[in-house]
Amino acid sequence: MAKAWHIGVIGGSGLYEPGALEDAQEIPVASSFGEPSGPVTTGRIGSVQFSFIARHGAGHRLAPGHVNYRANIDALKRCGITDVLAISAIGSLKEEYAPGDFVVVDQLIDRTAGRERSFFGDGIVAHVPLADPVCPRLSKLAGKAADKAGAKVHQSGTYVAIEGPQFSTRAESNIYRDWGADVIGMTAMPEARLAREAELPYALVGMVTDYDCWREPDGDVDVSDIIKTMTANSKKARALLAEFAAGLPKQRKASAIDTVLDTAIITPREHWDIASRARLDAVAGRLVNLLNESKD
């Protein structure tokens, strides 16, 4: 059934500026999975509802490995979002993906470690499919928006997510190139995994800030160069959001991702304990509420 769009945006605090959102308000949102990176700023761009969360918190105070990805996704789901658009800085592993370019990521390789990767497993077990970790519909819309915003856009790319916070060694960088990865970053995983578990279609637009350390004679990645490129791209990133809002269909048609948990939860309903159901009241609220109604 068609319904209204409500886009959750995960990215840097510089993605939006005062006045960019109509009826904007900043609201703290509590999560069953701990503290989110910060409050959610919600409002409208045109006729479309948007809710933003700064992935690394105000002032970029959270390293990639310290971001509470579960709480961020859970908080956005509690705000009633229908889809997630993630925007992040990435390094390039291919000559043709140049600094300043935008990449619509379509595949992910997860090399992170020690991060909470699932909402499930403690009382309720689920195995969501992740062969195609991003939503093709949302990604296509995001790619068109980036193009209209004036960016040079690559409409596909494989992203390798590393733990960080250090950048790769040259040997690692070359291994990732041999694997067929196009770009590299530190935040797309477990973010994309968790969005899928929360039944939220997810798209990722990466902004290339540098060639990773594989490229001779450039040498090591330089944070000052990354910041310069990000600053130069910030206007296009904000324009992307405006174009994205303008390009969305009037009504959002249902996605298969909206009901992915129907065939993913393996724990029989009679074994769902109260604490697990309460913790998943947003992520799996559609099913938890159905179970509660059946017991009334």
Catalytically annotated residue among 212, 222, 258, 281: 212
Active site residue 210: yes
Tokens 């800085």 — which residue?
89
Catalytic, out of 210, 222, 225, 296? 210
131 CB neighbour count, 10 Å cutoff: 5
Strand-pairing partners, residue 45, are 48
Is 101 an annotated catalytic residue?
no
Radius of gyration of the chain (CA): 19
Distance between alpha carbon 143 and the CA centroid of its chain, in Å? 15
| Catalytically annotated residues | 210, 212
